[in-house]
């Protein structure tokens, strides 16, 4: 074989491997996204490998090639979902940049509260909540979910710190403000109220604005 021909063969092999790797990664991502959608549509306990494969548009055999068991795909879906939720929060808050010099103004807080409320109404939150509720009584899921949730909470807090630098180094005040907002919204998003009591939701959002400003101002004194 001529040297040029050998070089073409050597070049083609890595390109083929690279494409196969990309295709495999895309298939895995499609399966994991399908799993999170199944959590929302059918609930955790009713999310089977067959349903995930159908939602992903792949054969069950192809899915088992990437994830040999239900536990494997669930673990992958938990990791995928946590990363997705972090990225979604960054995107939805990305237009609310401020600087330490600007401080926490009513306008900034109002926009941030409403953007965060949108975040808590994304399908990914309901997939997360489904896992959270199921993990209370499912030991195997809890062993997968809880360690990843702890890691997610640390990463999420670091993300919040980066997005809102005006809070400075006062992690305790920022953590309190975050907890007040996020835990309240988590309850709101999963309650019956948000579907039938829109005016009450608005009143709570306004209350949260005041609470965040109070927490910020109290750290200054």
% of the chain residues with pLDDT over 70: 85
57: left (phi over 0), alpha (psi -120 to 50) or beta: left
Element housing 167 (H / E): none
**Spatial separation of the C-alpha atoms in residues 3 and 42, rounded to whole Å:** 58
> At 12, is the pLDDT very low, low, confident or very high (cuts 50, 70, 90)?
low
Mean pLDDT of 112-119: 93
Long-range contacts of 179-185 (CB under 8 A, 24+ apart): 180/208, 180/211, 180/212, 180/215, 181/113, 181/116, 181/208, 181/211, 181/212, 182/116, 182/120, 184/208, 185/116, 185/117, 185/120
What do you get for the CA distance between the two ends of the chain, in Å?
Answer: 80
What is the dihedral angle through the alpha carbons of 73, 75, 77, 79, rounded to the nearest 10 degrees? -150
Radius of gyration in angstroms for the set of CA atoms belonging to the chain, rounded to a whole number: 22
Domains of the chain with CATH codes = 1-68 (1.10.10.60), 75-221 (1.10.357)
> At 104, is the pLDDT very low, low, confident or very high (cuts 50, 70, 90)?
confident
Kindly tell me if the per-residue pLDDT of 5 is higher than 60: no
Q: What is the pTM of this model?
A: 0.82
pLDDT of residue 163: 84
Q: Are 208 and 177 in contact (CB under 8 A)?
A: no
Mean pLDDT rounded to a whole number for the chain: 86
Lowest-confidence range among 47-56, 80-89, 156-165?
A: 156-165
Kindly tell me if the per-residue pLDDT of 221 is higher than 70: no
pLDDT of residue 4: 54
SS3 call for 178: helix
Kindly tell me if the per-residue pLDDT of 201 is higher than 70: yes
Contacts of 155 (CB under 8 A, 6+ apart): 82, 86
CA neighbor of 129 nearest in space, from 120, 138, 139: 120
**Spatial separation of the C-alpha atoms in residues 92 and 153, rounded to whole Å:** 18
Q: Are 88 and 80 in contact (CB under 8 A)?
A: no
- What confidence tens digit (pLDDT) does each residue in 39-61 have? 999 999 999 999 999 999 999 88
pLDDT of residue 106: 85
What is the DSSP secondary structure assignment for residue 112, as one 8-state letter? H
Mean pLDDT of 110-135: 94
């Amino acid at each position: 074989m001529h040297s040029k021909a050998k070089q073409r063969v050597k070049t083609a092999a890595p390109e083929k491997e690279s494409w196969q790797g990309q295709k495999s990664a895309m298939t895995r991502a499609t399966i994991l996204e399908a799993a999170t959608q199944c959590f929302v549509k059918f609930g955790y306990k009713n999310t089977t490998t067959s349903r995930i494969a159908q939602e992903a548009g792949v054969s069950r055999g192809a899915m088992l090639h990437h994830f040999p068991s239900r536990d494997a795909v669930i673990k992958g879906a938990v990791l995928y979902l946590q990363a997705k939720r972090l990225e979604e929060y960054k995107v939805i808050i990305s237009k609310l940049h401020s600087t330490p010099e600007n401080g926490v103004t009513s306008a900034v807080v109002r926009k941030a509260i409403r953007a965060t409320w949108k975040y808590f109404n994304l399908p990914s939150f309901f997939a997360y909540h489904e896992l959270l509720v199921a993990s209370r009584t499912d030991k195997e899921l809890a062993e997968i979910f809880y360690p990843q949730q702890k890691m997610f909470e640390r990463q999420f807090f670091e993300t919040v710190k980066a997005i809102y630098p005006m809070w400075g180094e006062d992690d305790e005040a920022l953590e309190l403000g975050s907890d007040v907002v996020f835990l309240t919204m988590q309850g709101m998003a999963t309650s019956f109220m948000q579907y039938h009591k829109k005016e009450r939701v608005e009143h709570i959002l306004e209350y949260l604005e005041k609470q965040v400003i109070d927490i910020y101002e109290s750290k200054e004194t």
